[in-house]
Structure 1
Amino acid sequence: MTAPGENPFAALGVTATQQTLYLTLLYNPGSTLGELAGMSEAPRPRLAALLLEMEDLGMISAEGAAGVAGEGGASAPADRAYTAHPPDAVVETLIRRRETEFIRARIEAKRINGDLLAAEQRSNPEKLVEVIDGLDAVIQRYEQVQRAAVRHVKAIDKPPYAVDPVSPNAIERERLANGVEYRAIYTPEARPSTLLDILIEVFDTCWEQATPLRFDDESGPVDVWPRLSEADRHLLTLLAAGLKDEAVARHTGMGARTVSRHVARLLRTLNARTRFQAGVHAARRGLV
């Protein structure tokens, strides 16, 4: 057998010896333990143990039944024909195995960390809050907190900042893509908003141009306004309450078309664009 200088499967938990034996089977499919022993300098029991390990890893499969003693009491059939699985399938199998191991390690680390934290809280309650000094340390911990989040990241955004607030948060975009929800409360001085400034300006402009709504005695002179009949005043009162023509017709006993004609006349008389505006103008001037 010829062994390459590098082991591409090392990161997946495959030893160099296993990788060498795998390549041998890849180019010599269907080899038995005896045939492999003739192609290798490794002792026969060692080869038997390696074949069992590689079967367990999902790297190879075999056909046959008889067995032979291997290292540590392990046994491998002597007349079984061994075949290596395709490299891409082997890599995927090994990756899934390692991912499972990583998940177990993460769970165990969290459990141990929780135990340590609980013990620390019992013995040193004053250390419940971690104080981080230094700009680099703050940035590093901020990134760690985001990457460790599984469901939510909750933050209060307030200057001064450790990182440039204008620059995009690449980690946040990555975590959002992975289903992590971000909830942040921003203080008024946290970040400028051009859209908010525009909306405030639009509101202020509309406020200055709007007609104040008053229901007190502060009304201007009424001599510049036309005289209204009692029916008109009653109609304006209903309009100011927001009633539609059908509802006004039911209150006044008039037909819907008659109400529409009276409303159109009052709008022209009061120089109003809407029914509600006509009622407001009339209320402001003491006409109703």
Structure 2
Amino acid sequence: MLDVLEPDSEQGRVYRALTMRGRSDHKAIAHHTGLPERTVDDVLHALAGLDLVRPVGGDPMEWEAAPPDRVMSLALKEEENRRARLWQVGAELDRLYHHARAASLPFRYVEPIEHPATLIRLTTRLQERAREQVRWLDRPPYYSKPHHFRAQEETQKRRMATGIRYRTLYSQAVYADQELFSTMTRMAALGERVRVLADLPVKLTIGDADLALLVPEPDRTGLEGALVVRPSGLLQALIGVFETLWTLGIPVTDIGGEQGLPERDRAILTLMAAGATDEAIARRLDMSRRTVVRRIASLLDKLGATTRFQAGVQAAKRGLL
């Protein structure tokens, strides 16, 4: 919705063309904006779905724009909804914080985890007992040994092969860890649903709606204070935290698949969407900065985007990430 207010976005260019020209068909709009006709047609139908433009008939079909005050009203409502969702996350985290601080009390549904090895063992058990899905908030710092990571990958592959759905929301730090990035890529190619968010508040693993393993303050205390959370209001709050953060994450799925882009370009798009600089992309993919700049320019052109952010949005919409 907010893209329509950005003069450089595809939605913004199409909407502004309609407000300036009045009724127009998609070919006239394409000529006015310089966008491909297919792109204009897709944008018009997307805007129609948001009730920001409407077809008025004719041959070829003409379109007209909704009044700008309506657009502003809808955009402000969307922003209010976004803020409300963020406040919801904050409220749930506040509840989580107070429950975690009181974990030393004899709650029947919260148990402390005394040793990191116990946490690793419980993580495996949670996956083995899952009947439908495993949800994960994955963020640094990491304390597991290489053989733990290999064992986890084998467990996940085996469980996914039996039909267990995995959804993992990674911290953006995944792009700074070559081994973790490679693991994420392999799991996504096998069917794990993956998203990335700039930062995550806690480490969290949830098995179905039956059990959660929580590390409340990983930056300050490491794995100390880790908790087992059984069915309770706290577990429901943790599930709510995951689902809300999931809606805010950037999809990164089928990274290695073939959807019209070479694997190297797909990797560049993925890193761009996460906010990586040209230098960081060049280091991660072992390319020269000049080659990265040239490939990014080509990708912007293919996606009809004028900024890196728009390229990330367009790539996600087209299923390229």
Q: TM-score, normalised by structure 2?
A: 0.28
- State which structure, 1 or 2, has the greater radius of gyration over its C-alpha atoms: 1
Q: TM-score, normalised by structure 1?
A: 0.31
